[in-house]
Chain A
Amino acid sequence: MKVQVNVNGVAYARDVEPRTLLAYFLREDCGLTGTHVGCDTSSCGCCVVVMDGTRAVKSCTMFAAQADGHEILTVEGLAEGGKLHALQQGFWDQHGLQCGYCTPGMLLTSYVLLKHQPNPSEADIREGLAGNLCRCTGYQNIVKAVQQAAGTLGQPAVTNA
């Protein structure tokens, strides 16, 4: 079947089997290998991309056909004009990655988190990233990176009751 997906502002028209998963469409049909596949069963969050600017989705658990006519943001689309996105800069500055495998998913999940909660507490960030696993266990710095991007680093930790 024919699908057309707008990925990072570029229209990709491709002929795919209905069973093609979005993660593989992005990696193999669009050549955008920044989206990583970890567990392949919706448990780890490596493959998260943003749909229509507001929703973080696990691209291993969605068909490319479902993205037909929609906008997808992948890690390749975060930086603008050679300037890193605030989240990417945060991960850089705070050493938010070790092996880097989970990083694209962490970035895009955080991207949507900050859209809905521009001033998240540390607890909000930890809760919001609960569906993303880092096998290097570098969570402390990942949380700091998101705090830096949100401009809440150094503020006292408050929990939303």
Chain B
Amino acid sequence: MDPTKVSQGLRGSAEVLIPHLFRTEFTRIAAVLCKHFGLEHLEVAEDIAGETFLAALETWPYKGVPPNPTAWLYAIAKNKAKNYLHRDQLFLGKILPQLKKASGGQAVDEPAEIDLSEKNITDSQLQMLFAVCHPSLSTEAQICLALRILCGFGIDEIANAFLTNKETINKRLFRAKEKLRTEKTAIEFPPAAELGQRLETVLLTLYLLYNEGYYSESQDAVLREDLCGEAMRLAEQLIQNESTHLPAVDALFSLMCFHASRFPARKKENGEIVLYADQDESLWDQELIARGAYHLHQASQGDVLSRYHLEASIAYWHTIKTDSREKWENILQLYNRLLTIAYSPIAALNRTFALSKANGKQEAIAAAEKLQLTENPYYYTLLGELYRDIDNGKAMVHLQRAYTLARTQTDKRIIQRAMEGLKA
């Protein structure tokens, strides 16, 4: 059952409501059912959640939308799950003996009631998040599973986001689910002693999920913002749960808010990316900036300084458009610290740019020459920028190298414009 088909196949009066409910409720129902059945029966849980929406699709357009649509969906899901458990071999052959064992050998005639209370829904979803972000899975597989199971994305959409085809995603999902099965991953909160470490994996997956949306080359702008929105929603769930509300979660959420605040300004109507320096800051979402600031403040309570703290602080400084020595000095020092705990080529390049703003171009050129990221197009874009007005000939050579290495049309266009700027 492919969720996209349900949302795409909609017509009639319930047209607007069902896709909306689908996004929010499909994964909630699936999470609860999956927790109930066990992770090895993930497909069954997804099927029942899918059939629940099919039922809405078949009924609502003709009989009208029920007064409480969510409650209606839950009631249908419960019924379908109950029927399934009653008639299926799964219940008779596998779950029943286990239930008997669990209840100390007493006969169990009725399957336990499916608990679709708000509390159980959020708990199940969070526990699923920990199950999906299992250290035994590759990060790619984790993101893929999270999109499918926790965000209710269709195979098409995931393939589009990763710029690959459906077969690849299906294979990746299949292997990931097999792995979870063989590892006998339980849907539960990790024990307190492991929580910190497991949470790190979860946060990294959410961070990458967000980046996938923010930097994706996918042409589908709505989809990209959806990815970011889902990463934010999951991070917010971690914040709302007491045991997972740790400073690093606030820091990550804050980082996401600051970046998301620029969504309205970073794209032209034709979809072309608007570089930070050229953005109209009056389009920045001040409410998101304020939320980011609030969570950054929350994150500072405690003595942990994660990479997300540093990245959120950098993102905070970028919410101030006006250049100042103070701004770049702060950004430089934050990158200095970030690189000592989490090296990445992009952080190294950004640090060098900040160095040029804070300490001058000559020092930055010397530092840049040492990086030797010779496969990276952005390395040459940076060198081109640093040499501009100092040695335009050298700047041009670097930009040409960047153009050759650039992997996307967007990047090529941006480099092209920088080259034209040099000639002018």
Same complex for A and B? Answer no
Q: State the B residues within 8 Å of A (CB).
A: none
